[in-house]
Amino acid sequence: MQIVNKTIPNGGKVIFESILDEIPGGVSVKVARLDYLTVNTNVDKRFLPAGTPVYVDIAARTADICKSFIALAGSTAQAIMVAKNNHAKVGDFVNDGTTSSAISSIDTTNAAYDILNTAEALIYAENTKYGQGSASGASTAMLFTPNGMTKDNIWIFDGNADGAIVTMGTVRADALTFPITSAYAIALRGGITGTGRSLITLV
């Protein structure tokens, strides 16, 4: 079964090639850490797209977004250029796979991209993928690692929203809105030991 993203700009892409399992009844997706009120001629963040990686607290039935970014051409070590649909906030830690640095400011003045200005230098080559770290410094630790992905596009402009979460299936990586870092990909496959809750394969 193919799940298609049709209800947000640039939709119409096949996201899931197959869905084998999901969390019955869905969960409450938390939005306080997101830039969910931004909507203008350049970007519309009122929807959370299908295929967004999330960490689900099963007991609480809540989901936290696992933020990620990808460096655009023209980035520098402390000025990472990213797509405007990002949910970065000042104070977030950007992790390049080996090091995390706090975002000190975000320049949103360009119509084509945002610039994440960081306190310390990071890897900045074009197409470098970043996750959200848990603290500043040399570390691979992420604030959250995903154990699921949003099944559908979710309207988040009004605050926390219920949504279905896929925990097992196959996803088209080239159709995703947000990049999947290597650490996120491992977590989605059940972690290094393969014993995690999710079993999602990127193709």
Q: Would you say residue 186 lies in a domain?
A: yes
Q: Residue 104 to residues 2, 80, 89: CA-CA distances in angstroms?
A: 40, 12, 9
Boundary of a domain, candidates 117, 138, 159: 138
134 in the same domain as 153: no
pLDDT at residue number 24: 82
Q: Scanning the structure block, which residue is given the tokens 């992420």?
A: 142
Give the residue from 84, 119, 138 where a domain finishes: 138
Q: Which of 21-25, 56-60, 91-95, 186-190 has the lowest mean pLDDT?
A: 21-25
Residue type, 179: P
74 and 133 together in one domain: yes
Say what the pLDDT of residue 7 is.
Answer: 46
Count of domains for the chain:
2
Q: Residue 195: what pLDDT? A: 75
Whether the predicted pLDDT of 58 surpasses 90: yes
What is the per-residue pLDDT across 138-148, written as a single tens digit (0 to 9) for each?
999 999 999 99
* Tens digit of each residue's pLDDT (9 = 90 or more) over 25-38: 889 999 999 999 99
Same domain, yes or no, for 122 and 156? no
Residue 31 lies in a domain: no
Q: Are 131 and 187 in the same domain?
A: no
Q: Looking at the predicted structure, is the pLDDT value of residue 59 above 50?
A: yes
pLDDT tens digit string along 160-170? Answer: 999 999 999 99
Distances in Å between the alpha carbon of 73 and those of 49, 54, 112, 125? 24, 27, 12, 7
Domain boundary among 113, 138, 163: 138
Reply yes or no on whether the pLDDT at 6 is more than 80: no
**In this predicted structure, what is the pLDDT of residue 197?**
79
- Residue 89 inside a domain? The answer is yes
Residues 6 or more apart in contact with residue 109 via CB below 8 angstroms: none
How many angstroms separate the CA atoms of 135 and 130, rounded?
A: 14
Identify the domain containing residue 194 by its residue range. Answer: 3-25+42-58+147-202
CA angle 81, 129, 196 (to 5 degrees): 145
Q: What is the pLDDT of residues 104-136, one digit of tens each?
A: 999 999 999 999 999 999 999 999 999 999 999
- Could you give the CA distance from residue 1 to residue 3 in angstroms, rounded to a whole number? 7
pLDDT for 9 equals: 47
The letter for the amino acid at 184 is Y
**Which pair of tokens denotes residue 11?**
């939709």
Determine what percent of the chain is predicted with pLDDT higher than 90.
88
Does residue 164 lie within any of the structural domains? yes
Q: What is the pLDDT of residues 89-109, one digit of tens each?
A: 999 999 999 999 999 999 999
Q: At 170, is the secondary structure helix, strand, or coil? A: strand
pLDDT at 87: 98
What is the average pLDDT across 166-192? 96
pLDDT at residue 4 tops 60: no
Q: What share of the chain is helix, strand, coil (3-state, %, to 5)?
A: 5, 40, 55
